């Protein structure tokens, strides 16, 4: 039985990773400052070790990795708009915390660190689908922070022998992605609006495309990266996505159907600074390195997400 540290483990993606590890019998420690994560996301495991702390503190990072075999680093401020407004604050959470964790993992003899990166590192590259051989071109502080994290991880693999894998996530969605969070994704926001009978906001003309990936597929990819041979994956950055793209307008139309034929039209406003126009992943490297294969279609993922949001609303009304 391996011992895992999951940073950001009370958050949206992190809690799903924790759930998968716990269900297969692994020992898990969670570090989360609970700025966006919720204790309720871990309610199924009341005895889990949860450390509420700031990972950018080197002492916290050192204590967090003590006795750990593998680290899954998901903690971050995952917001392009906030990084534009508060680049220094986001740099601390996204870069300084990652460096502190890598240093602590190196010194503690951790075997591997799997860390979340982002498709935003590609910037406005015209190439589609986006593959790992493209030159990164960040358009926002958040994208730059993620790229720096990748490069630190690769350096630690090369200089110190710490196995690292950076996974470039593409627009992850699913249950536990709260529509009330300031970091909420477009799908949870659209779903909440449609279920409430309100108009959702679309930035730009809606023809921008994204590679939406259901959270269960991301969790499967994360665990596969943890298990892959070190010689094959260490120091690499790898796309993790469904490998398909859909426009925001078409996404909204599917959600209208999934939520029961809602005919409420979206409201359009100006594009957001730092957002890319089109995004789609080439996932051939993930398939090659750790047999990754997404299993949940966008429409099925949307159905599950809508079902979850409805259940949460019902629980709130009955409490």
Which residue among the candidates 4, 142, 152, 214 is catalytic per the annotation? 142
CB 241 within 8 A of CB 211: yes
CB 4 within 8 A of CB 20: no
Q: Any catalytic annotation for residue 183? A: no
CB 146 within 8 A of CB 121: yes
User: What does 81-101 look like in DSSP terms, one character per residue?
Assistant: HHHHH-HHHHHIIIIIHHHHH
Query: What SS3 class is residue 118?
Result: strand
DSSP H or E segment with residue 305: helix 298-318
User: What does 162-225 look like in DSSP terms, one character per residue?
Assistant: -EEEEEEE--EE-TT--TTSTT--HHHHHHHHHHTT-PPEEETTS--EE--EEHHHHHHHHHHH
Instruction: Write down the residue that tokens 């997400």 correspond to.
Output: 305
How far apart are alpha carbons 208 and 206 in whole angstroms?
5
CA 238 and chain centroid, separation: 13
If one counts every other C-beta atom within 10 angstroms of the C-beta of residue 227, the result is 12
| Interhelix angle 186-195/298-318, nearest 10 degrees | 50
- What are the residue numbers of the active site? 142
């Amino acid at each position: 039985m391996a011992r895992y540290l999951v940073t950001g483990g009370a958050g949206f993606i992190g809690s799903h990773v924790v759930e998968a590890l716990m269900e297969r019998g692994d020992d898990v420690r969670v570090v989360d400052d609970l700025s966006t994560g919720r204790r309720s996301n871990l309610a199924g495991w009341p005895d889990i070790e949860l450390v509420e702390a700031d990972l950018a503190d080197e002492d916290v990072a050192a204590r967090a990795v003590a006795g750990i075999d593998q680290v899954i680093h998901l903690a971050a401020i995952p917001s392009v708009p906030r990084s534009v407004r508060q680049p220094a604050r986001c740099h601390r959470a996204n870069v300084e915390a990652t460096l502190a964790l890598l240093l602590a993992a190196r010194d503690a003899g951790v075997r591997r660190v799997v860390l979340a990166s982002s498709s935003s590192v590609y910037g406005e590259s015209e190439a589609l689908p986006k593959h790992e051989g493209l030159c990164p071109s960040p358009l926002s502080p958040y994208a730059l922070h993620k790229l720096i994290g990748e490069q630190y991880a690769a350096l630690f693999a090369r200089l110190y022998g710490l196995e690292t894998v950076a996974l470039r996530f593409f627009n992850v969605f699913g249950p536990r992605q709260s529509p009330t969070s300031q970091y909420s994704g477009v799908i949870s926001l659209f779903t909440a609006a449609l279920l409430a009978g309100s108009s959702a906001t679309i930035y730009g003309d809606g023809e921008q495309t994204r590679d939406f990936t259901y959270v269960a597929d991301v969790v499967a990819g994360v665990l596969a990266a943890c298990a892959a041979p070190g010689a094959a994956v260490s120091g690499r950055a790898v796309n993790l996505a469904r490998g398909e793209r859909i426009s925001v307008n078409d996404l909204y139309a599917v959600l209208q159907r999934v939520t029961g034929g809602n005919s409420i039209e979206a409201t359009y406003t100006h594009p957001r600074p730092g957002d890319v126009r089109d995004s789609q992943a080439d996932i051939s490297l993930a398939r090659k390195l750790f047999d990754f294969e997404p299993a949940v279609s966008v429409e099925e993922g949307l159905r599950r997400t809508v079902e979850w949001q409805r259940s949460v609303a019902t629980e709130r009304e009955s409490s």
